[in-house]
Amino acid sequence: MRKIIALVLLLCLTAALFASCGNGTADPAETQKPGQGQETGTAESQPESDRPSETETDAPARDYIADGLRDEDFNKFVFNIMYSPARGLMVINLEDAQTGDLIEDTLYECSSAVAERFNILYERTDGGDDHGLADKLEASVLSGTKNEFAMTIGHDYLSVRNSMKGYYADLTESDAFDFSKPWWPEKNLQSTSIGGRMYVASSYVSYSPMTGAGILAFNKKMMADRNLEAPYEEAFDRDWYMEDLIQYAARGHNDADADGTIDIDAGEQYGFVMGSMAATGFERSMDVVPVGKDSEDMPEYALDAERAYTMLELLGRLLESGKRFDENNSQFEAFKNNGALFLYTSTRDVYRKVRTYVDVTYGFLPVPMLDESQTDYIAGASDMLWGVPQTSVDQFHQISTIIEALSCQCYNYVVPAFYETTLQTKLSDAEEDIKVLDIVRDATAMPFAYFFGTALGGLDIAMAELPRQTTASGLSSYIAAREATLIRNIAQLIDDFYAIEELQNHA
Least confidently predicted of 43-47, 401-405, 421-425: 43-47
pLDDT (0 to 100) of residue 25: 37
User: Rounded CA gap, 420 and 425, in Å?
Assistant: 8
pLDDT (0 to 100) of residue 73: 98
Residue 31 CA, chain-centre distance (Å), reads 23
Question: pLDDT band at residue 482, thresholds of 50, 70 and 90?
Answer: confident
Question: pLDDT band at residue 33, thresholds of 50, 70 and 90?
Answer: low
Least confidently predicted of 43-57, 161-175, 297-311, 401-415: 43-57
pLDDT (0 to 100) of residue 423: 87
Question: pLDDT band at residue 12, thresholds of 50, 70 and 90?
Answer: very low
Q: What is the 3-state secondary structure (H, E, C) of 414-441?
A: HHHHHHHHHCCCCHHHCHHHHHHHHHHH
To the nearest 10°, the Cα dihedral for 475, 477, 481, 485? 50
Question: pLDDT band at residue 507, thresholds of 50, 70 and 90?
Answer: low
Between the ranges 63-67, 117-121, 322-326, where is the mean pLDDT highest? 117-121
Write out pLDDT tens, residues 316-329: 899 999 998 888 78
* Residues 109 and 54 sit within 8 Å (Cβ to Cβ): yes
C-alpha pair distances (Å), 8 with each of 15, 243, 304, 313:
11, 20, 19, 10
Domain ranges across the chain: 24-210+384-424, 214-380, 453-505
DSSP 279-327: HHHHHHHTT--SEEE-TTS-EEE---HHHHHHHHHHHHHHHTTEEEE-S
- Strand-pair category, 77-83 with 120-126: parallel
pLDDT (0 to 100) of residue 32: 54
Least confidently predicted of 153-162, 241-250, 466-475: 466-475
Mean per-residue pLDDT, 302-329: 87
DSSP state of 66: -
Res. 34: pLDDT tops 80: no
Question: What pTM was estimated for this model as a whole?
Answer: 0.83
pLDDT (0 to 100) of residue 217: 97
Same fold, 24-210+384-424 and 214-380: yes
- Quick one: CATH architecture of 24-210+384-424? 3-Layer(aba) Sandwich (3.40)
pLDDT (0 to 100) of residue 11: 31
Write out pLDDT tens, residues 430-462: 899 999 999 999 899 988 888 888 778 765 444
Radius of gyration of the chain measured on its C-alpha atoms:
23
CATH no. of 214-380: 3.40.190.10
Question: pLDDT band at residue 112, thresholds of 50, 70 and 90?
Answer: very high
Work out the mean pLDDT of the chain and round it to a whole number.
85
Res. 3: pLDDT tops 80: no
